[in-house]
Chain A
Amino acid sequence: MSTLSDLYQETIVDHSKRPRNRGTLAHATHSAEGHNPLCGDRLTLQLEIDNGRVANVAFQGQGCAISTASASLMTDAVKGKTPEEAEQIFAKFHSLLTEDKLPAPDLGKLAVFSGVREYPMRVKCATLAWHTLHAALQNEHKPVSTE
């Protein structure tokens, strides 16, 4: 049986209490709003894409520890990346949460979310920020939903 500390690893608890890149951007080029109807969580994501790379990224919103930490770690992970690279990380992150395989070696800190796989009801908490990122990169202006 997996234990709660597999789910709530130290890095997750740390990022949920002290989220990085929380706030707003003055010069956002892309933005999107994400919504998880299951719990009512909402998240707003802003990106500043400069020279084909994510120069800056910020998020706002209240959520559970998993979704807040995921947003925080996501924003760290995509900084400096091209949109294509960011989408590739999302794909690997998604497999990490849904497939019973070892994490892709280049996921770095994001591997701390491997425990979420054991909690199917919480997968959406961990992917909300990423779905919102995807929408922002498409510059889809309508809110995305995890449902």
Chain B
Amino acid sequence: MSSVRAEVIEAPAGFDVDRIREDFPILRELVHGKPLVYLDNAATTQKPQAVIDALVDYYTHYNANVHRAVHLLSTRATEACDRAREKARKFMHARSTNEIIFVRGATQGLNLVAQSFGRANLKAGDEVLVSGLEHHSNIVPWQMLCLEKGAHLKVVHIDDSGVIPLADFEAALTERTKVVALAHVSNALGTVNPIAYMTELAHRVGAKVVVDGAQAVPHMPVDVRALDVDFYAFSGHKLFGPTGIGVLYGKQALLDAMPPFEGGGDMIRSVTFEKTEYNTLPYKFEAGTPDIAGIIGLGAAIDYVNQIGLDRIAAYEAELLKYATHVVQQLPGVRILGQAPEKASVISFVLEDIHPHDIGTFLDQLGIAVRTGHHCAQPVMDRFQVAATTRASFAFYNTVAEVDALVAGIRKVQEFFA
């Protein structure tokens, strides 16, 4: 689908969405005989040819295990993983590759922090502060930890626009707060949290800040040093890379002091039945054969995103979101959930008298993929007293024409159920 109405938004200089779309083979697919309009990017993103090629290249030409053998293929695979770690370091602006732990995804990264840092540092009566807009993956690991330790899980709730009131946040911090766990961007509402400021407040009471960046890294430049966060996790598959791979950033001093998360190969320096000496960072936290293809694919995804430029991506998506919000808002009986002034390219909405599931099935028949449901954020749904929403989430390859297709589709649903 070409962006026939591209003139209604102002794309940043040098940003050619039609050209970019050619990099994504799946965007040429037909769904139910219609061109695919993929608006479920918050769930997972599509992969550019460069990422697919990197996976095929590894499996075709140098598939081997890493760190284990002296043969050429193993050397090449090991070097490719090392290069990918360096790309991830640069991408996050971390000081050292020792601070870049490869994990399965944001979920595993957050669990690693809860299980390793949390278990070693929390005691009964301590507090973990989470926000009301968290994904289940940044709630449940902390709940489990608090249950085990007799600590308290405190929640700072969101207001009607989907924003965490900063005064409430500040008031919730006490000298007992050991961990503050926050999403950088909400997957259900799109709200962008002012992480740098919140981190500053949290550090004043001595709490460590753990950020779930799953929805931030695909949409904006992230600098963990500027934010000064203690931990930051994201998933490769939401960044145009493969599934099964993600990154946990942690400040080196903290990671050094933490016990390992899992035991096994690669995470050890020497093993006897009496004693095991753990490996250095980052390997201490990477037990077992890693997802080598995934790591290489993630490296390719980072290269791809860098080549377009996250600043340009953010600028284009801001325009697209503004346009989409404008046209969706004009639909009769629509209510958009999440109207934060700082918002990533997500529109979560409900229609009067039409259930999201029916909307989802209808749109699917038109080739339009959206997410319907609670988005793994049931507390957010409860906050707005809905069971589910329909969510359109955009990436830089989406177009104005696709937004128009979405709105036309919703109008058809409304006509049908009128």
Contacts and interface: CB of A to CB of B under 8 A. Distances in A.
Question: Is chain B found bound to chain A in the same assembly?
Answer: yes
Interface of A: 1, 3-4, 7-8, 13, 17, 38-42, 62-68, 119, 121-122, 125
A63 B357 CA distance: 9
Contacts of A7: 361
B388 A39 contact: yes
Contacts of A67: 357
> Interface extent on B, as a size class?
10 to 19
Interface of B: 32-33, 354-358, 361-362, 365, 372-374, 378, 381, 387-388, 416-417
Nearest to A42: B387
Contact of B387 (A1, A13, A40): A40
Q: Which of B354, B355, B417 has the most CB of A within 10 A?
A: B355
A94 to B, nearest CB: 20
Contacts of A41: 387-388
17 contacts: A3-B365, A4-B361, A4-B362, A4-B416, A7-B361, A17-B417, A39-B355, A39-B357, A39-B372, A39-B373, A39-B387, A41-B388, A62-B355, A65-B358, A68-B355, A121-B361, A122-B361
A84 B206 CA distance: 64
Contacts of B378: 40
Contacts of B358: 8, 64-66
A4 B356 CA distance: 15
Contacts of B388: 39-41
B188 to A, nearest CB: 12
B60 to A, nearest CB: 35
Contacts of A122: 357, 361
Contact of A64 (B33, B355, B365, B381): B355
A64 B357 contact: yes
A145 B378 CA distance: 16
B224 to A, nearest CB: 34
A8 B374 CA distance: 23
Given A40-B374, A68-B355, 5 more contacts: A7-B361, A13-B416, A39-B372, A40-B387, A67-B357
B374 A39 contact: yes
Contacts of A38: 373
A13 B417 contact: yes
